[in-house]
Amino acid sequence: MSDIQSILSIAKRTLETESKAIHNLIGQLDEQFAHAVQHIFESKGRVVVSGVGKSAIIASKIVATLNSTGTPAIFMHAADAIHGDLGTIQENDIVICLSKSGNTPEIKALLPLIKIAKNKLVGITGNMDSILAKQADFVLNTFVEKEACPNNLAPTTSTSAQMAMGDALAICLLELRGFSSSDFAKYHPGGSLGKKLYLRVADIVVNNQKPEVDVNSSVKEVIVEISEKMLGVTAVMKQGKVVGIVTDGDIRRMLSKHDNISDLTAKDIMTSNPKSIEVDMLAIKALNLLQEKGISQLLAFDNGSYAGVVHIHNLINEGIL
């Protein structure tokens, strides 16, 4: 079995090599990057991102990032482009080509076709003397000194640099567009990320039962209500208004203090001024409040009226936590 320290040493060396290469990109940025961003921002078309091999995989990731941050983009494999997929590129589209060498056969064949169609071309390459660099309208330099691969062959550092440059493009465009968290939610409606941005307390409370007892209800009635509604809590009401809360923790504490509970009512064991939240608040706000107070439930209110309960398990089930 390989030595643990040797494995960790290789991993650290790889990350150090790649982090250094990405840091070096800062010094390689110039006005062409800014002009490329401005041109994409002002364009009425989409961004078509293309490449071959590992660069094609990075191109797909850049497309996904652009689309999710407000810049319409589409992937086109360079090899497929010269065999029928060139129609992907429309009149106002801007094409981004990724190639470490800038001289791959597929890229060489694609470049004159882009020029004929008069689409603007952004080249992302590590070779500033390449055909791609010379023919592109804007060149983004992703030169790296070496790959993390000990043979300096497998695309590792170079693809990390390409991805980082794509992220820089996307974030510049995001900020120019004033892309907000609410905009982000529109593009990410599924999964925990989207839910943190759009799911509200009302969306959760509506699916829960609404536990409540009268202030004069017996302890047995309180226990039954908590058990039946399965939220570990019940609101305590007086003349239609919430005056307190009883949790399963309150029940346990009561049993440890009293031998005879037959004469006790909800009023005797409730906690006044319970923690609460409005139904129009984001669910993530409810989570923050629960964690801040170290509790498991919040009463939810709709313009001052008791609407139900949000439980931390609801947030876990929704993927918020």
What is the C-alpha separation between 244 and 235, in angstroms, rounded? Answer: 6
pLDDT tens across 71-91, in order? 999 999 999 988 888 889 999
Read off the CATH number of the domain in which 70 is found: 3.40.50.10490
Q: Which residue has the tokens 């590792």?
A: 156
- pLDDT for residue 320: 77
- pLDDT for residue 83: 84
Residue 24, exposed/middle/buried by CB under 10 A (0-12, 13-18, 19+)?
A: middle
CA nearest to 40, candidates 24, 63, 56: 63
pLDDT tens across 224-265, in order? 999 999 999 999 999 999 999 999 988 998 888 887 888 899
Read off the CATH number of the domain in which 237 is found: 3.10.580.10
Structural domain of 132: 4-179
pLDDT tens across 104-115, in order? 999 999 999 999
Domain co-membership, 161 together with 15 = yes
- pLDDT for residue 317: 86
Domain co-membership, 104 together with 17 = yes
Residue that finishes a domain, picked among 146, 179, 212: 179
Domain co-membership, 225 together with 174 = no
Check pLDDT > 70 for residue 45: yes
pTM beyond 0.95? no
Residue 83 is labelled as binding a ligand: no
In a domain, 196, yes or no: no
